[in-house]
Amino acid sequence: MLYVAPESHISHFGKIEPTIALVYEASAVNLECFSESPVLWTINGHPIESEHIIFHNNLFIQQVLSEDSGIYRCTGTHARNKTFNAQSEVIVGGMKTNQLVKYS
The torsion angle over the Cα atoms of residues 95, 100, 103 and 104, rounded to 10 degrees, is -120
Q: Please say whether the beta carbons of 79 and 65 come within 8 A.
A: no
52-65 pLDDT, tens digit each: 898 988 999 999 99
Tell me how long the chain is: 104
Inform me whether the pLDDT recorded for 94 exceeds 80. no
The whole-model pTM stands at 0.74
CATH class of 3-97: mainly beta
User: In degrees, to the nearest 5, what angle opens at C-alpha 75 toward C-alphas 70 and 80?
Assistant: 160
4-61 tens-digit pLDDT: 443 433 334 567 777 888 888 989 999 999 888 889 999 999 998 777 898 988 999 9
- Domain spans in the chain, listed from the N-terminal domain onward: 3-97
Instruction: Please report, in angstroms and rounded to a whole number, the separation of the first and last CA atoms in the chain.
Output: 17
Residue 43's φ and ψ, nearest 5 degrees, are: -125, 125
Check if the beta carbon of residue 103 is closer than 8 Å to that of residue 96.
Answer: no
What are the C-alpha distances in Å from 45 to residues 18, 29, 78? 19, 19, 21
